[in-house]
Amino acid sequence: MSQFRNIALVGPYSSGKTTLMESLLFVSGAITRKGSIKDGNTLGDSSAEARSRQMSTEVTAACFEHGGLSFSVLDCPGSIEFLQESLNVLVGVDAAIVVCEPDIQKVLSLAPIFQKLDEWEIPHFVFLNKMDHAHHDFSEVLSALNQVSSRPLVLRQYPIFGKETITGYIDLVTEAAYQYHPDHAADPIPLAAALQDAEAIARMEMLENLAEFDDHLLEELIEDIAPSEDEVRQDFQKETEADLIVPVLMGQADQSFGIRPLLETLIEDVPEASITAERRGFSNSKEEPIAQVLKTFITPQGGKQSLVRIWQGHIEEGMTLNDHRIGGLYRLFGQQTKSLGHAESGDIVAINRLESIHTGDFLTTQ
């Protein structure tokens, strides 16, 4: 099994993508303290321009280990003026997380993003962020999301609201309820009687959506047979990988609400890097290295750095690609770098000083 999972965070300006990446890094243990956009100390948005504008102006890459897998997360700018930045890296990821707020007008602005993800057959999830600021009825937000997605939205969680804000969620796969705690794991709680009918309706809708692509599950529902938890999880995995459905999760990234279940979902449902490579027409059995440049950086020291996805084979220092000798190979963590001797198929790494190489170019030994 390929250990690499490459994920893009996409969505409108101010939806909370950089904060979500910060929380993913914090919960996974990659950082010990979260930064904030306001304080200008996040791993993403670390350039002087991004911090002065308090918004992403270019893609930020961060690699971390979690659950036995190696994740590369690419935080993409949401402003329309930097759209091409996002499109350039989307071709190299295994999945995308569409980050949006529970606001109908902002949800409707997602149509171009969903259209491109569907056109390129990129498996994707929705993370409804800032659920503490939900301004519309939750069902209306879901209805708006379905208007802008050609794939069915499948709710994986149901929100629990207190008097003024979200306080927890119900896992619709396990039917377990949880209460949020800022920057800590949610605690299991009894499912309140007042929520049982709404949960049952939401869960049945989830199962019916999954059954659209699983005849066995459809037969079980018709015969009123409760499917096993494993069967439901397998359906989510298969149908997400095939880009047939769009799972919907939720939370509040600045408090790390919903981040742990999101990470668990990414471990289970993001396709292996090798599967993405095969879908793009590359062979995992061939040793010939093929990589693609997703992003070109100019480092603070003024040097050129190319962010590449390795589709096939491996790359190592001293190798010659497109008549350029590889002299520096790195894994990125914001503006920090970790030197590598070699990198395998499925990885996203940075290569220094490929002077005549441009974003979008393929690198080979031929």
pTM above 0.85, yes or no: yes
Domain span at 337: 283-364
Does one domain contain both 56 and 191? yes
Does one domain contain both 131 and 153? yes
Beta 69-75 vs 124-128: how paired, if at all?
unpaired
Of 248, 278, 308, which marks where a domain is finished? Answer: 278
Does one domain contain both 170 and 299? no
CATH code where residue 109 lies = 3.40.50.300
Predicted pLDDT at 135: 59
pLDDT digits (tens, 9 = 90+) for 210-236: 999 999 999 999 999 999 999 999 999
Does one domain contain both 152 and 290? no
CATH code where residue 347 lies = 2.40.30.10
Predicted pLDDT at 302: 56
Predicted pLDDT at 54: 53
- Of the pLDDT bands very low, low, confident and very high (cuts 50, 70, 90), residue 89 is very high
Does one domain contain both 22 and 166? yes
